[in-house]
Amino acid sequence: MNRIFGCVLAMFSLISIDAISQEPVKQRTINVSGIAEMEVVPDEIYVQVDLREYDKKGGAKIDIDAIKNDFLKAAISIGLNQSDISVQGYQGWDGNLWIYKKNKKKNPDLKASITYEVKLATTKKLDELVQKLDDEATQNFFISRVSHSKLQEFKRQLKVQAVKAARDKAIYLAEAINEKAGEAVTINEPNEVVSYPQPVYANRMMKAEAMATSSDAPVSNIDFKKIKLQFEVNATFALK
């Protein structure tokens, strides 16, 4: 009996020793963050222009077709392409003459209007467009948004730079305690923080201000407020 008990005890001891030996060794790691930033001047400035029919002195009305044609000619005259101009909406006139006449009978004072979105590359082009606007027809003019033609490329570059910054940080922090940073254990997708300039609203007074500057005055070379890009990544590296 004692011999059997001894054999069972020895078997359990071997199992316990084997289980302990199979426990994974806890990996020593270092957790760090990396940040990459960039500021870029927008080269895509989107402007919304609201145009509306109006009555000239003496009662003659300038209709929406004439206003549209004049606006498009003005935009092309400063070097814009038709692909840079898109219609955002109509009011009182949608190209259907019958509906327009029907609405006009109900409301004789009805004025048709159209809204365009125009893409500009620089603030200089913005000033040129303002000076070409029909002061009476233009009801509103504002910068709706800005972007950059290479924005996605910049974002990709910054993500890579953020990961490299985390790697560099892991190396010098590990060296501070006489350790070495090894292979990456985990790398999280970089968090994106993008700050766009706030839209600038204006109206017909904007043209008056632009026209107040004489042609002899120096041309403004002030850039549009920059887009701020920032990416932060969290990464874990093994210590060896």
**163-198 tens-digit pLDDT:** 999 999 999 999 999 999 999 999 998 899 888 876
Q: Is 199's pLDDT higher than 70?
A: no
At 154, which helix (H) or strand (E)? Answer: helix 151-175
Domain that holds residue 178: 25-42+149-198+226-240
What is the identity of the amino acid at 107? N
Q: What is the pLDDT of residues 52-111, one digit of tens each?
A: 988 887 778 888 889 999 999 999 999 999 999 999 887 765 555 555 555 655 555 668
The whole-number pLDDT of residue 29 equals: 95
Domain presence at residue 239: yes
- In this structure, the answer to whether residues 118 and 170 fall within a common structural domain is no
- In this structure, the answer to whether residues 38 and 48 fall within a common structural domain is no
DSSP class of residue 84 equals: G
CA distances 170 to 167, 186, 198, Å, are: 5, 13, 37
Where residue 55 sits, what CATH number does that domain have? 3.30.70
Task: Burial-class residue 104 by CB neighbours within 10 Å (0-12, 13-18, 19+).
Answer: middle
- In this structure, the answer to whether residues 112 and 57 fall within a common structural domain is yes
Q: Is 39's pLDDT higher than 70?
A: yes
Number of alpha carbons in the 13 Å side-chain half-sphere of residue 215? 2
- In this structure, the answer to whether residues 31 and 68 fall within a common structural domain is no
Domain presence at residue 237: yes
- In this structure, the answer to whether residues 101 and 161 fall within a common structural domain is no
The whole-number pLDDT of residue 70 equals: 95
- Looking at the 3D structure of the chain, how many domains does it have? 2
Mean pLDDT over each residue of the chain, to the nearest integer: 81
CA distance 225 to 199: 11
**pTM of structure:** 0.70
- In this structure, the answer to whether residues 73 and 132 fall within a common structural domain is yes
CA distance 211 to 132: 10
